[in-house]
Amino acid sequence: QVLRQKQVDSPEIKQVSVRRFATFDLFTRKNIETQDSSETTDDQWVEYRSVYFPEFSALLRDNLGPLQVNEVLNSFDNTGNVVWPSEEVMAHYCLQKRNMFGAVCELGGGMTGFAGLMVAIGADVREVLLSDGNEKSIQVRGLIERNRQDGKFGSTHVSAVVRWDCESDISVLEGHFDVVMCADLFLDQYRACLVDALRRLLQPNGMALVFAPTRGETLRLFCHLAQQTGLYVSQHQEYDPQVMDVHLKMLRQGKDAYDENIHYPLLITLTKGP
């Protein structure tokens, strides 16, 4: 009993209890009937449509079936399996700013690469690279093909495995992108190589967009490190009226429902010059 009480009081358990907050309600979801009988029942496609820019929607695979234990053990990392709030907010922000893109790369997009996908669909871009370090998330999602079949975008969009800590993955893309973006990627052991990858992938006038909650010290440590490597860092609390609106409403519901420290994504922009 004592042990159980201790566990309930632990910060990890408290975090889990407020993780219930799952969305800023920026996209509606609708299940899509599939006509292809070769697809299994696990292949449920869902249309995510922007509430504020309803002309833009993307197809995501909602239910990828249970993960096999050996896949979890052998694959690189499996935390990016659903659209988390920071990714959702980044997708919405990209639609809002859809005229600012040229060549774009999303790092650590997880199973969906949702924001990168919305850029491919909504923005007038030359090129979009949806990447993640986990080969499985790149292979299974089949997202590019499905959205292309549905006529959502042209042919300049690809998925690839890009590991921030893999020299050859980064060096082939060096200086290539106008925008490099990522959401909620603050695993302590990869902080340094993520900063390095963001810096190296950007072309001299490019800009990196990072959406992530404060999460204790993690965001501050990330910004500090980015500054140390010579990047210009600026942090934005108010970057979108609709997101701010939900944020303020949720704050009024109290910390049990919404904890700004783990739920409200701040926007960090990084550039090579002032």
Ligand X SMILES: C[S@@+](CC[C@H](N)C(=O)[O-])C[C@H]1O[C@@H](n2cnc3c(N)ncnc32)[C@H](O)[C@@H]1O
Q: What residues line the site for ligand X (CB under 6 A)?
A: 76-77, 79-80, 83-84, 86-87, 108-110, 132-134, 137, 163-165, 183-185, 187, 190
- Answer for the pair 54, 230: CB distance below 8 angstroms, yes or no: no
Instruction: Give strand pairing partners of 233.
Output: 270
Least CB distance from residue 84 to ligand X, whole Å?
Answer: 4
C-alpha closest to that of 187 among 167, 202, 165: 165
Give the residue with the Cβ less far from ligand X, 96 or 134. Answer: 134
Q: Which amino acid is at 95?
A: L
Distance CA 262, CA 242 (A): 19
Q: Retrieve residue 104's tokens.
A: 């774009």
Residue 155 or 168 having the CB closest to ligand X: 168
Question: Least distance in Å: CB of 212 to ligand X?
Answer: 8
Between residues 132 and 259, which has the closer beta carbon with respect to ligand X?
132
127 - beta bridge partners? 103
| Beta-bridge partners for 210 | 182, 268
Q: Which two tokens stand for residue 117?
A: 């996908």
Dihedral over alpha carbons 181, 250, 263, 129 (to 10 degrees): -20
Q: What angle do CA 235, 239, 245 make, to 5 degrees?
A: 130
Tokens 């994504």 sit at which residue? 265
- Quote the least distance from Cβ 183 to ligand X, whole Å: 4
- Taking the least distance from each CB to ligand X, the nearer of 6 and 236 is 236
Q: Least distance to ligand X from the beta carbon of 61, Å?
A: 14
Q: How many residues does the chain have?
A: 274
Q: How far is the CB of 269 from ligand X (least distance, A)?
A: 17
* Nearest in space to 208 (alpha carbons), one of 271, 155, 166: 271
Min. distance of Cβ 180 from ligand X in angstroms?
Answer: 13
Tell me how far, at minimum, the Cβ of 274 lies from ligand X, in Å: 28
Helix, strand or coil, per DSSP, at residue 233? strand
- Report the residue number, 108 or 206, with the smaller CB distance to ligand X: 108
CA–CA distances in Å: residue 110 to residues 17, 162, 214:
23, 11, 20
In the complex with ligand X, the residue whose CB is nearer, 67 or 232, is 67
Residue 149 or 261: which CB sits closer to ligand X?
Answer: 261
- Nearer of residues 75 and 271 to ligand X, judged by Cβ: 75
Smallest gap, in angstroms, from Cβ of residue 131 to ligand X?
A: 7
